[in-house]
Amino acid sequence: MTCHTHSLKVLAAHLLGLGALVATPAYATTINNVLTVDGTATTTTTNTFGPSTNDAYISGSASSGAFFSGNYADASAWGNAYGTYRAAASGSGVFSSSSHFHRTVTLNNNNGYATDYTLNFFIYYGSLSANNNGVAGTGYGSYDLVIKMNGVNTLFSSMAKVDSDGVLTRGGTELNGASLSGGNYSWGGTNVSLNLGSLGINQSLTIDFDLVSTAYGNFATGTSCGGGYGNTDVPALMSASTGYGGSCTGSIYASLGDPNDFAENGQLNPPVNIIGNRSSTVPVPGTLALLGAGLLGLGLNARRSRR
């Protein structure tokens, strides 16, 4: 009875050691980033920015037309290796603008054992606005966010488009607190956690994060807005005879991401992070050795008890 009890203690000790290793977090993972931004702003002319790359921080912007001439377009995007990002587009009158932020993350498992990975990220609050301001014409604002693994598997997607008639089109995951009021659509911050699966020793994967914001408008210029400067999304057009408030046109705005560009110096709580833990689903050589040692100890003790 004593030998049998002792052998069980030996096995239990080995299994406890095995469990401790399974719970050990992964610290030897290598993460590499490639960041790009690009965009266009078009009225009577087309201005572009990007693509550009930098390991730490990237940004770009473009504009076209004159703000008080009626036809104006603007696009901007930025991001950094900590995970902060933004893409925004806007305009008034007759225009089109688009901004694109792209981040590719390469994840290498250098831990010496199979590792399970989880991607956690934060989707910033943002808004879409599409208003004709009482003039003829149409326009829309939209965002499209897609995260893929290894260029094929879509891990997450969310899109929304609102037009100047107040019609909303949505797809993928709806963001927290999303609401529509007239031609204005907004949402709150959303935390997302995605299982990336298990990587064996020295295996790798890639994650592509794409965010596109678009604004398009084809509006006439009118005098029926009636609010003047400050009561429409776009200030009234400037003219020598009427000054502010004389005429107006439709306007579009679309944005998603960090609105204050905190990315440049990093953040204490990065909006994107990847967590790795020793895989609990696939035994690796080290764990098999421990299990074998425990069984061997049990067998030896059992053999001594029979003598």
Residue holding tokens 């208003």?
A: 131
**What pLDDT is attached to residue 45?**
95
Q: Summarize pLDDT for 182-241 with one digit per residue, the tens.
A: 899 999 989 899 999 999 999 999 999 999 999 999 999 876 554 443 334 444 443 322
Nearby residues of 89 by Cβ (< 8 Å), 6 or more positions away: 39, 41, 73, 74, 75, 76, 97, 98, 99, 141, 213, 214, 215, 252, 253, 254, 255
All structural domains of the chain with their residue ranges: 26-281
pLDDT at 305: 52
Q: Residue 9's pLDDT is what?
A: 39
pLDDT value at residue 224: 55
Alpha carbons 172 and 174: distance in angstroms, whole number: 6
Which residues in the chain land under pLDDT 70? 1-28, 54-55, 67-69, 223-247, 260-270, 281-307
Residue 176 confidence (pLDDT): 92
CA distance 152 to 207: 10
What is the H or E stretch that residue 116 is in?
strand 115-123
pLDDT at 258: 82
